[in-house]
Amino acid sequence: MIVQAACLAHDIGNPPFGHAGEYAIRDWFRQPEPQAILQNLSSNERLDLLAYEGNAQGFRLLARNEHHPDKGGMRLTCATLGAFMKYPWLATHSNDVNDNHYNVQKFGCFYSEASQLEELAACLHLPRSEQHDGFARHPLAYLLEAADDICYALIDLEDGINLNMLTYSEVATIFYELIGERLSSVNLPAHMSVRQSLASLRARSMMRLVNTVTDAFVANSDALLAGTLQGSLFAHCDTSVQNGINQAKQLAREKIFNHPSKVRMELMANQCLHSLLNAFMPLAWIGSQSATMQPPMSFEQQRLLKLLQPHLDEHRRILSDDIYHNVLNILDFITGMNDHEAYRLAQELQGHWGTVV
């Protein structure tokens, strides 16, 4: 039940358009105007924005924002939060403030929730990591990571076929590798449709992967409890399983994530989120102590604040002299939208009125 709950929550912090949205937010904070404002923040606060992470936003939602913002978010158990936390460290533990930030490393907690992470680690007795200045993962977080990899490695490939990006033979070959069978040729069974055959192969692949990962979890229990396990559970599985997962990810990178339609979507997502950030983010520093020379709010900014105010009221927040917390509150608002909501609002802010499907 703990792992199930953590799996249900694992993508809760993703902004609109998923990873493309993360890249768009990071990219926006590298622009000249935000950079000038960010110089007023500490290195911890600055890195949270330059290396913005949906994983950290997820922990913020679970531990602070959702349902009971004054009483600790969703009030989940420490074990569930520990299983959820794939990266129990701050941005500064895996990123250099002097980097160009185009190759950011993942992290799981913003500086604003650093005290909650310390409390969580103390409750779960998470040891300090040997690789960085953070904590070792909770053992159950390895199962969440494996479940995530299993689902997306297989489902992404099926989606690739449905979108005519991949062939049946390409995907079935990898599924047979995961099952542990190597065929001289891969052909669609005469009595099955593509969908039926893939469903059967997916089920068999998942069964073997779950069993193999479970065996690896048991075999490495001592290292997991000590916080010294290197790599994911897949690094400790049968070679055919490792090869199959790596092949699946590589094929997805080459033919799905770099497909022209995917690239067009990412460009659209970038423009969409930049429009929202251009509109709302100046509210974070207008009137603050570090921006005393700012002119009064324009009519447009006053109306934008009207749109933002219900979100602030719901979470009992205000825009204050603290730019960092203002920025996070605005990001809470923007990243809480789904793709269609973000796209529609961005279109309306550009003056395009009407129903957007």
Given a cut of 60, whether residue 98 has pLDDT beyond it is: no
- Let me know whether 30 and 133 are in one domain: yes
pLDDT band at 35 (very low <50, low <70, confident <90, very high): confident
- Let me know whether 34 and 121 are in one domain: yes
In the chain, what are the helix, strand and coil shares in percent, each to the nearest 5? 65, 0, 35
Q: Which of 255, 272, 292 is the last residue of a domain?
A: 255
- Let me know whether 180 and 96 are in one domain: no
- Let me know whether 164 and 216 are in one domain: yes
Residue 104 lies in a domain: yes
Burial of 169 (0-12, 13-18, 19+ CB in 10 A): exposed
Residue 357 lies in a domain: no
- Let me know whether 119 and 23 are in one domain: yes
Structure tokens at 247: 């092949």
Residue 278 lies in a domain: yes
- Let me know whether 294 and 209 are in one domain: no
- pLDDT (0 to 100) of residue 290: 46
Q: Give the number of other CB atoms < 10 A from CB of residue 158.
A: 18
Residue 116 CA to its chain's centroid (Å)? 19
What's the total number of domains in the chain? 3
86: left (phi over 0), alpha (psi -120 to 50) or beta: alpha
Residue 28 lies in a domain: yes
**What is the helix (H) or strand (E) element at residue 108, kind and residue range?**
none
E strands present in the chain = none
Q: Give the number of other CB atoms < 10 A from CB of residue 347.
A: 15
- pLDDT (0 to 100) of residue 286: 77
- Let me know whether 25 and 112 are in one domain: yes
- Let me know whether 251 and 337 are in one domain: no
- pLDDT (0 to 100) of residue 26: 95
d(CA 292, CA 131): 43
Given a cut of 60, whether residue 102 has pLDDT beyond it is: no
pLDDT tens string 45-93:
999 999 999 999 999 999 988 877 667 778 899 999 999 999 999 998 8
CA distances from 123 to 79, 85, 116, 126, 335 (A): 9, 14, 10, 8, 29
Query: CATH number of the domain that 248 lies in?
Result: 1.10.3410.10
Which domain covers residue 93, as residue numbers? 2-137
Q: Mean pLDDT: which of 87-101, 137-151, 310-324 is highest?
A: 137-151
Residue 294 lies in a domain: yes
Mean pLDDT of 304-320: 91
The dihedral sign for the CA sequence 111, 115, 118, 120:
negative
d(CA 74, CA 66): 6
Q: Which of 224, 255, 286 is the last residue of a domain?
A: 255
- Let me know whether 30 and 60 are in one domain: yes
pLDDT tens string 154-207:
888 988 998 889 998 899 989 988 888 877 667 777 788 888 888 889 999 999
**Is there a contact between 270 and 23 (Cβ–Cβ < 8 Å)?**
yes
d(CA 98, CA 95): 9
pLDDT tens string 118-136:
999 999 999 998 777 789 9
**Is there a contact between 49 and 31 (Cβ–Cβ < 8 Å)?**
no
pLDDT tens string 136-153:
999 999 999 999 999 888
- pLDDT (0 to 100) of residue 126: 95
- Let me know whether 220 and 290 are in one domain: no
Structure tokens at 230: 């290197």
pLDDT tens string 246-304:
999 899 999 998 999 999 999 999 999 999 999 999 999 875 544 455 667 889 999 99
Within 8 A by CB and 6+ apart from 123, the residues are: 78
Mean pLDDT of 324-347: 96
Within 8 A by CB and 6+ apart from 267, the residues are: none
Burial of 355 (0-12, 13-18, 19+ CB in 10 A): exposed
Q: Which of 137, 157, 180 is the last residue of a domain?
A: 137
- pLDDT (0 to 100) of residue 291: 47
Residue 356 lies in a domain: no
Question: What is the identity of the amino acid at 82?
Answer: G
- Let me know whether 73 and 150 are in one domain: no
- Let me know whether 147 and 46 are in one domain: no
Whole-number CA gyration radius for the chain: 22
pLDDT tens string 217-253:
999 999 999 999 999 999 999 888 988 899 998 999 9
Residue 355 lies in a domain: no
pLDDT band at 96 (very low <50, low <70, confident <90, very high): low
Residue 300 lies in a domain: yes
Structure tokens at 150: 């299993």
**Is there a contact between 64 and 116 (Cβ–Cβ < 8 Å)?**
yes
